[in-house]
């Protein structure tokens, strides 16, 4: 369960994050494909999309290579 302040939310409410499951490194990204898919899903289910937030938990390159990350989040 990740809790973090996102200073970019006000300027870019529709964006996503990928977070390492070990070191909790956060990389923000935007994707036209994801935005299109979310709009399609919302429309299909009878909703009007206002904002979107996608959070992906994954393994960073260091974790994949070494089995653990040297830098851990505090």
- Which domains does the chain possess? 15-66 (3.30.1490.190)
Residue carrying structure tokens 């974790």: 63
If one compares 66 and 73, the residue with the highest pLDDT of the two is 66
Provide the edge-to-edge strand list for the sheet that holds 26-29.
Answer: 26-29, 15-20, 53-58
pLDDT of residue 5: 52
pLDDT of residue 3: 55
pLDDT tens digits for range 2-59: 555 555 555 555 779 999 999 999 999 989 999 999 999 999 999 998 888 899 999 9
pLDDT of residue 65: 92
- Kindly tell me if the per-residue pLDDT of 74 is higher than 80: no
């Amino acid at each position: 369960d990740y809790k973090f302040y996102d200073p970019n939310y006000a300027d870019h409410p529709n964006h996503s994050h990928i977070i390492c499951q070990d070191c909790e490194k956060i990389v923000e990204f935007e994707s036209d494909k994801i935005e299109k898919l979310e709009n399609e899903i919302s429309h299909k289910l009878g909703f009007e999309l206002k904002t979107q937030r996608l959070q992906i938990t994954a393994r960073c390159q260091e974790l994949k290579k070494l089995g653990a990350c040297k830098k851990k989040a505090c």
